[in-house]
Amino acid sequence: MPSMPFLCLAATLLAQTPPNPRTVPSVDTKPSAPSVYAEPNPALPGQTVTIRWPAELGAVIVNGGGIIARRFPAGQTSAQDRPAKSTTYSVTMPVERTKKGRVSEPSRRYQAGVHVYDGSFPRLATYTDTRGWTMDVVAGWNRYVVDLPDPVNNALIYFQTEEDSEERTAVSIVPSDGMDSRQLMRKVETDIPTQYDMLTRTGQKETTQGGIDAFWMTFTGTEMSHPDTPMKSMVLAFVKGPRGYVISARAPADRYDERERLLRCLVRSFAFTYNLTQRTSKQANHVAHGERHEGKRPLSRVSR
């Protein structure tokens, strides 16, 4: 497997130390029942949150936040809200009755909570990628694409104010080549020292992203292109089908505490828009012709 995406990613990996347990909930740990969940979690005030549930639940009623007892038909598996504060959403399967009015299937209720941070944060924009995923970024940031072969399966995209900014987020996509999420994170750990000096790993834990098993790692180090600016970084890695995904964010160490919540919510906002294992040749060609040139690109975005 080509190592280039990981090496580039290591150069862009972005920042974090372990969150203060008194102010940040344990939202990065692996939940016991991820079939009904809200993402991103945590979220910023007014950030779009998607509540998801499995198709086998059929028709459901969703309640919570700005969604007031709304009924969704069978086949629809998500709803969106923009909560201003921490919210618990319920997803309920209505009672099923026989023709004589008897209960044939009792009501079942599932809950998904989202923690919304207090405070003021920059306005966000949503980037939509032709490979079938979206991610929130700070409005006004630019997209920088690294030219890689086979762009359907290999990608490296930076979101930042200018090239090689100290603060930025990044998405790296690589062929999974049979790796699981744990093995992918180990590969990332191996490649980080090629770009960072004075490296200190501050933590790693198992989590989920979009209902998929994932790993979350944090580290500090001095990035070689910014030798006078110590950085703190956060990294999220997981495998979906034939591809591995590494989502990251970084900031200068002396600004990290004030930016950590924002960066965490940006990383956690990464979400798929459809099943990537069912790509058509037309979609693959669209990506191949649309993501080939390195450099600054305008963002496809929806301002919040």
As a three-state string, the secondary structure of 229-290 is CEEEEEEEEEEECCEEEEEEEEEEHHHHHHHHHHHHHHHHCCEECCCHHHCCHHHHHHHHHH
Contact indicator for 24, 241 with CB cutoff of 8 Å: no
**pLDDT, mean of residues 200-215:** 88
Cα(93)–Cα(258) distance, rounded to whole angstroms?
41
Higher local confidence (pLDDT), 158 or 18: 158
Domain membership of residue 24 (yes or no) is: no
Helix axes 4-12, 181-191, angle to 10 degrees: 70
Bridge partner list, 4? none
Residue 277: left (phi > 0), alpha (psi -120 to 50), or beta?
A: alpha
Q: Is the dihedral of CA 166, 170, 175, 177 positive or negative?
A: positive
Q: What is the CATH number of the domain that holds 272?
A: 3.40.1000.10
Q: What share of the chain is helix, strand, coil (3-state, %, to 5)?
A: 20, 40, 40
Of the candidates 114, 130, 161, which is a domain's last residue? 114
Cα(242)–Cα(112) distance, rounded to whole angstroms?
29
**pLDDT, mean of residues 225-238:** 92
Domain membership of residue 42 (yes or no) is: no
Nearest to 156 by CA among 177, 131, 187, 181: 131
Q: Band the pLDDT of 199: cuts 50, 70, 90.
A: confident
pLDDT at 214 over 80: yes
Strand, helix or coil for residue 214:
strand
Q: 185 and 72, same structural domain?
A: no
Q: What is the pLDDT of residues 112-161, one digit of tens each?
A: 999 999 999 999 999 999 999 999 999 999 999 999 999 889 999 999 99
Domain membership of residue 43 (yes or no) is: no
**pLDDT, mean of residues 25-44:** 70
Q: Band the pLDDT of 18: cuts 50, 70, 90.
A: very low
Cα(37)–Cα(43) distance, rounded to whole angstroms?
13
- Count the Cβ atoms, other than its own, within 10 Å of residue 274: 10
Q: 270 and 195, same structural domain?
A: yes
Q: Band the pLDDT of 28: cuts 50, 70, 90.
A: low
Q: What is the pLDDT of residues 67-111, one digit of tens each?
A: 999 999 999 999 999 999 999 999 999 876 556 656 556 678 999
Nearest to 94 by CA among 62, 123, 60: 60
Q: 85 and 69, same structural domain?
A: yes
pLDDT at 271 over 90: yes
Return mean pLDDT, the chain.
81
pLDDT at 4 over 60: no
Burial of residue 73 (CB within 10 Å: 0-12, 13-18, 19+) is exposed
pLDDT for the residue numbered 231:
92
Report the number of distinct structural domains present in the chain: 2
Domain coverage including residue 72: 48-114
Domain membership of residue 31 (yes or no) is: no
pLDDT at 46 over 70: yes
Q: 126 and 99, same structural domain?
A: no
pLDDT at 13 over 50: no
The lowest-confidence range among 63-77, 102-116, 179-193, 261-275 is 102-116
User: Which residue type sits at 100?
Assistant: K
Domain membership of residue 180 (yes or no) is: yes
Of the candidates 88, 114, 140, which is a domain's last residue? 114
Nearest to 246 by CA among 191, 195, 198: 191
For every residue of 4-52, DSSP letters joined together read HHHHHHHHH-EE--PPPTTTS-STTSPPS-TTSEEESSSB-TT--EEEE
pLDDT for the residue numbered 293:
35
Strand, helix or coil for residue 69:
strand
Q: 201 and 162, same structural domain?
A: yes
pLDDT for the residue numbered 274:
60
Token pair of 292 as six digits: 């080939």
Q: 67 and 185, same structural domain?
A: no
Q: 202 and 84, same structural domain?
A: no
**pLDDT, mean of residues 50-69:** 94
Half-sphere exposure of residue 288: CA atoms within 13 angstroms, side-chain side: 9
- Count the Cβ atoms, other than its own, within 10 Å of residue 303: 9
| Greatest mean pLDDT range, 11-15, 193-197, 201-205, 207-211 | 207-211
Cα(200)–Cα(196) distance, rounded to whole angstroms?
10
Give Cα separations from 129 to 89, 91, 139, 179, 235 (angstroms): 28, 29, 16, 24, 20
pLDDT for the residue numbered 300:
42
Predicted TM-score of the model (pTM)? 0.79
Domain membership of residue 249 (yes or no) is: yes
pLDDT at 215 over 70: yes
pLDDT for the residue numbered 296:
53
Q: 293 and 248, same structural domain?
A: yes
Q: 176 and 105, same structural domain?
A: no
Domain membership of residue 155 (yes or no) is: yes
Q: 225 and 134, same structural domain?
A: yes
Of the candidates 71, 92, 114, which is a domain's last residue? 114
Domain membership of residue 127 (yes or no) is: yes
Q: 137 and 109, same structural domain?
A: no
Q: 162 and 100, same structural domain?
A: no
pLDDT for the residue numbered 173:
97
pLDDT for the residue numbered 104:
53
